[in-house]
Amino acid sequence: MDGSFLIGSRALTTDETFRAIDPSTDEALDTDFAVSTTDHVAEACKLAADAFDSYRETDPEDRATFLETIAAEIEGTDGLVERAVAESGLPEARLTGERGRTCGQLRLFAKLLRQGRWANVVVDNAMPDRQPMPRADLRQRRIAIGPVAVFGASNFPLAFSVAGGDTASALAAGCPVVCKGHPAHPGTSVLVGRAIQSAVKKCGLHEGVFSLVQGTSNDLGAALVKDPRIKAVGFTGSRGGGLALVEIAQKRPEPIPVYAEMSSINPVILFPEALKARGKDLGKAYVGSLTLGSGQFCTNPGVVVALDGPDLDAFADTAAKALEEAQPQVMLTGGIHKNYDQGVQKLSGQSDVKTLARGAEGTGCNRGRAALFETTGEAFIRNPELAHEVFGAASIIVRCTDFDQVAQVLEGMEGQLTATLQIDEGDHETAKKLVPILERKAGRILANAWPTGVEVSYAMVHGGPFPATSDPRTTSVGTAAIERFLRPVCYQDLPDALLPKAVKHDNPLHLPRIVDGESE
């Protein structure tokens, strides 16, 4: 591995460099990585703009083949998982699975392209004899929005980074991508970037379809979002980082959408019958979800809401004992570990909060010690700080007096990625009253599961009202993610010779269509 970044087909270096840090030791890893300049950002954006018109009109089959080629190149990249382990502190098994998910996403979008529904082709045939006025021939399709800036995520070095869901869905839509690699894992970013670069060449595409810039400065990301050739942004990270990008994007002469996935505490509601029947089992499963990956999931169960009483006591006691045995795991970076400790200290210092348990003491750098707290429904409603996200394995149990107070607790929460119901059949009538609240608050509602698994599928929604995301109409996981990077265009009375393939009269791409209001 060398420390170059990728501008189109070229690998470039500069005199200014940085190194990745192994979070398990706080020691710098080998390889000096070159820092991209704002001039390099501009060059990458120009190449992306140059590539746009030809790439967006590639046949769906050609784009599908391209995505599958990227997946094959990633799978054939030696040392990728090992490097990701060294740069993130995540275990090898987790990252092996994440590589599989990354390639699975690419292949799912390839399948979507071949199915054709994404193009949303609608034809209203001309009605020249219609009274009192004739109707023109109208044809609609969706086209790519333009070059997209993608920011790599710290907690998913593969699945939400250089070739992750934002890149896969943008490329599927026909949008060139300029990616800013996350500074915590530059080696992983370069290895994946080279896989995409190789796929671009093998598929005979314009070199500007993909570029990768690297560096530790926020100014680099700001320059990328400010560039007038960028037409949308994909981001997964902190609320502060996401909002900073939204502000930059909205202050441009041409504002653009920022699809930022940011902050969520993912409430879990324990219903009485479920708590009575299996409270202890729920307590163990809850801690397993909470401490998975040191709690560094955007879908981590950060708050549990339930009616006060003996059954909740049994749940809390079991959860506390399980959490006390939880071994501290390496967190992604020293900065994330520091912020986690500060968040835990802030919660424990609240007058209305009781510390139920802390995880086992650990040795070594950046180990996140799990934390479990409890409070009352009244205190949670009164103090908004208790609902702030602590990124890591920390959660709070909220003891409510009745279901009216449960509803008040939920109504007072910000937007969430998920909301979970732990219910038995006897709880259904009570749960029905809360579902409308949860629909307004969350993008995904689960029953009798835990939120820390996100299936990549056609129906999945990984989004939600602010601050879970900056745009609640969209998802960053699943095939619907492609819709973020498409816009509709209508063609009125254009001669067939001027129509794009997707809406030509003889339908040469064999896309599914709605013709005169009927499926064809």
Kindly give, in sequence order, each residue whose CB lies less than 8 Å from that of residue 267, ignoring residues fewer than 6 positions away.
301, 302, 303, 304, 305, 410, 413, 416, 419, 420
CATH number at residue 48: 3.40.605.10
Q: How many domains does the chain have?
A: 2
Structure confidence at residue 520 (pLDDT): 86
Q: Are 172 and 164 in contact (CB under 8 A)?
A: no
Does residue 455 fall inside a structural domain?
no
Does residue 119 fall inside a structural domain?
no
Q: Are residues 388 and 251 in the same domain?
A: no
Q: Are residues 222 and 301 in the same domain?
A: no
Does residue 167 fall inside a structural domain?
yes
Q: What is the largest CA-CA distance in the chain?
A: 82
Of 43, 73, 207, 261, which residue is the catalytic one?
261
Q: Are residues 433 and 333 in the same domain?
A: yes
Q: What is the pLDDT of residues 441-469, one digit of tens each?
A: 999 999 999 999 899 999 999 999 999 99
Q: Are residues 297 and 401 in the same domain?
A: yes
Q: What is the pLDDT of residues 140-149, one digit of tens each?
A: 999 999 999 9
Q: Of all helices (H) and strands (E), which one includes residue 373?
A: strand 371-376
- Distances in whole angstroms, Cα of residue 63 to Cα of each of 56, 414, 497: 9, 38, 23
Q: Are residues 196 and 224 in the same domain?
A: yes
The position carrying tokens 């505490």 is: 265
CA–CA gap between residue 517 and residue 332 (Å, rounded): 51
Q: Is the peptide bond before 257 cis (omega within 30 degrees of 0)?
A: no
The 10 Å Cβ neighbour count of residue 505 is: 11
Does residue 463 fall inside a structural domain?
no
Q: Are residues 258 and 271 in the same domain?
A: no
Residues of the chain with pLDDT under 70: none
Q: What is the pLDDT of residues 324-362, one digit of tens each?
A: 999 999 999 999 999 999 999 999 999 999 999 999 988
Structure confidence at residue 362 (pLDDT): 82
Q: Are residues 353 and 377 in the same domain?
A: yes
* Among candidate residues 80, 103, 81, 101, the one with its CA nearest the CA of residue 91: 81
Q: Are residues 272 and 360 in the same domain?
A: yes
Q: Are residues 233 and 292 in the same domain?
A: no
Does residue 493 fall inside a structural domain?
no
Q: Are 332 and 89 in contact (CB under 8 A)?
A: yes
Beta bridge partners of 519: 514
Q: Are residues 234 and 345 in the same domain?
A: no
- Distances in whole angstroms, Cα of residue 316 to Cα of each of 65, 173, 274: 51, 47, 14
Does residue 337 fall inside a structural domain?
yes
Single-letter code of the amino acid located at 288: G
CA–CA gap between residue 330 and residue 27 (Å, rounded): 14
Range of the domain at 108: 5-114+145-262+472-485
Does residue 309 fall inside a structural domain?
yes
Q: Are residues 334 and 399 in the same domain?
A: yes
- Whole-structure pTM value: 0.96
Of 298, 374, 389, 400, which residue is the catalytic one?
298
Structure confidence at residue 453 (pLDDT): 86
CATH number at residue 326: 3.40.309.10
Q: Are residues 294 and 360 in the same domain?
A: yes
Active-site residue flag, 490 = no
Does residue 93 fall inside a structural domain?
yes
